Structure 1
């Protein structure tokens, strides 16, 4: 099914009052992107007055908007709280970010594990947004009792 067909079906269901999760067309990715220290200066929640003037990482804007234009889903997943939503949305708009939504209140810290029945890929930001490339790495998995 093509992306346009999926969008049309979802729009009809939403207009009918149904709450549905979209089915991503093949080749379309769902990106969850951190904000602080990933697309701009790392601003702690304890210094919200700095959020409105955070320095943009230009390669992040270029890359994320390119992914959006390619049809990928862009959600910001941030440790900023709901009280920071307005300043964050204004900052994203002022800089021209295209995105689908934002999830606030991600726990702070660096030991994230996403457990899902679907394949999940994670990419650690290390200073520059570029196109993603394939790379073989070691990962943690559930112990199924069968050891190689």
Structure 2
């Protein structure tokens, strides 16, 4: 599926005036990407003036735009507050990030646990964006 087909799929379903999240084809990944400390330096909400001057990590820009062009969904999910939406969107556009959506208000700190009725894959950013590889790891699951 190319990016035009994904865009069409995302804008297609509307029920009673509200956007409905589509079921994506199996080959399309839905990436939730953090901003601070992941695609650029770690800029805390308490220092919003730094948001306008920080630079993106080049490997992040290249990799995320490649995934977007391959037809995957790119959603930035950040601890930045709603007050910082405009400067964040301006920053993303200024640096050429292609994305589908931006969610504000992610919990701060790294000790949160996502519980969902769908399979959730998590990848910890450790300093460089590359293509993803499969590895076997130990995870916490609910007891049967």
Same fold (TM over 0.5): yes
Q: 2:72 maps to which residue?
A: 72
Q: 1:52 maps to which residue?
A: 52
Q: 2:141 maps to which residue?
A: 141
Q: Which runs of 5+ in 1 are unaligned?
A: none
CA offsets, 1:18-65, max 9 Å, x none?
Answer: 531111111101100000000001001110000011121000000000
Q: Is the 8 A contact 2:31 2:75 kept in 1?
A: yes
- TM-score, length basis structure 1: 0.88
- Inter-CA distance 95–12: structure 2 relative to 1 (3 Å threshold): closer
Counterparts of 1:20-35 in structure 2 under 5 Å? 20-35=20-35
Answer yes or no: is 1:97 the counterpart of 2:97: yes
Q: 2:123 maps to which residue?
A: 123
Q: Aligned pair count?
A: 143
RMSD: 2.1
**Which 4+ residue blocks in structure 1 deviate beyond 2 angstroms?**
2-19
Answer yes or no: is 1:40 the counterpart of 2:40: yes
- Inter-CA distance 5–82: structure 2 relative to 1 (3 Å threshold): closer
- TM-score, length basis structure 2: 0.90
- Inter-CA distance 40–140: structure 2 relative to 1 (3 Å threshold): same
- Inter-CA distance 98–10: structure 2 relative to 1 (3 Å threshold): closer
Superposition deviation, residue 107 in structure 1: 1.2
Q: Is the 8 A contact 2:13 2:21 kept in 1?
A: no
Larger radius of gyration: 1
